[in-house]
Amino acid sequence: MTNSNVPRILLIGSDGQVGWELRRSLATVGQVIAASLTGQEGPAVDLSQPDSVHQLFDATAPDVVVNAAAYTAVDRAETEPELALAINGTAVAIMAERAAARGIPVVHYSTDFVFSGDTDHPYREDDEPQPLNVYGQTKLAGERALLDSDAPALIFRTAWVYGVRGNNFLLTMRRLFREQSELRVVNDQFGTPTWSRLLAEVTAQILYRVVQGELDMARVQGLYHVTSAGATSWLSFAEAIRDLSDADCRLLPIASADYQAPARRPAYSVLDTSRFRTTFGLTLPDWRHSLALCLADLR
């Protein structure tokens, strides 16, 4: 830690939906250095450029790194694989290298899309990843770069992230409810909607315990699945958003094959979070509970 014993937390991707929530939650843990592509409220960083990542570490000298940035345009990644890999893989490898050299903790977020979805039971951390698309492949590359490094890292795989800002299913549905009287929504993909604030809050709680010496990073570092509890389809998620928003829109089920998306999605990507609960003693709420709280923020 620094001489003042207040850790300098480098938050990368501070303008994203998870990063925006982390700016507030991490303020209780230490001094947050908010880095983003725009650099509006802190240093700018272009994760597609290795030199930019190195310069960010040189300029900020962090005690903790939280990487909430990613290339998340799942369909566009099919035609921009090099850019997606640069941000989701190469940049993370540089973070791992720099964190290992300083011996500082790293928190990184990954995705359920590292799995194929060819199962009927929640995925555990030791299940074999088999991504179906470029996005999942590049996020898996970032995971492996951290796990293969000497950096003390926490990798949180999550799923179906939504929040009050950014591009996500919740905000898209609320907009479409205002514009259309009928929508077709995929009903054969299953996962767990996860509120960005939930991810930010559990991250802050864990990091607080780490910097206070209550948790030994050498013991707890590794890969964890972190989502809300429960599971649902995209259609049922849309129905819950509609009902809690008092919207009047007819929702019709369609198959994934009818959606015609460039990137294949896993049909079933529910994550088993028991390792996270056992290790950190944190119980994650049902996805419906978090959705109701998030929508209350939007009223």
pTM: 0.94
- Please report the pLDDT score of residue 166 as a whole number: 84
| Domain 8-168+193-228+270-284 annotated CATH 3.40.605.10 | no
Q: Are 157 and 224 in contact (CB under 8 A)?
A: yes
- Please report the pLDDT score of residue 179 as a whole number: 93
Q: Are 67 and 109 in contact (CB under 8 A)?
A: yes
- Please report the pLDDT score of residue 39 as a whole number: 63
Catalytic site residue from 135, 162, 224, 268: 135
Residue 135 bears catalytic tag: yes
Domain residue extents for the chain = 8-168+193-228+270-284
Please give the structure tokens belonging to residue 54: 């190195």
Distance of alpha carbon 5 from alpha carbon 1, whole angstroms: 6
- Cα-to-chain-centroid distance, residue 250: 30
- Please report the pLDDT score of residue 154 as a whole number: 97
Residue 156, phi then psi, degrees to nearest 5: -105, 105
Q: Which segments in the chain show pLDDT lower than 50?
A: 1-3
Residue 112, phi then psi, degrees to nearest 5: -65, -15
Q: Nearest Cα to 210, choosing from 95, 96, 69, 64?
A: 64
Q: Are 159 and 169 in contact (CB under 8 A)?
A: no
Distance of alpha carbon 170 from alpha carbon 160, whole angstroms: 10
- Please report the pLDDT score of residue 28 as a whole number: 94
Please give the structure tokens belonging to residue 222: 């590794």
Q: Are 273 and 280 in contact (CB under 8 A)?
A: no
String of DSSP letters for the chain? --TTS--EEEEESTTSHHHHHHHHHGGGTSEEEEEBSS-SSS-B--TTSHHHHHHHHHHH--SEEEE------TTGGGT-HHHHHIIIIIHHHHHHHHHHHHT--EEEEEEGGGS----SSPBPTTSPP--SSHHHHHHHHHHHHHHTSSS-EEEEEE-SEE-SSSS-HHHHHHHHHHH-SEEEEE-S-EE--EEHHHHHHHHHHHHHHHHTTSS-HHHH-EEEE---BS-EEHHHHHHHHHHHTT---EEEEE-HHHH--SS---SB--B--HHHHHHH--PPPBHHHHHHHHHHHH-
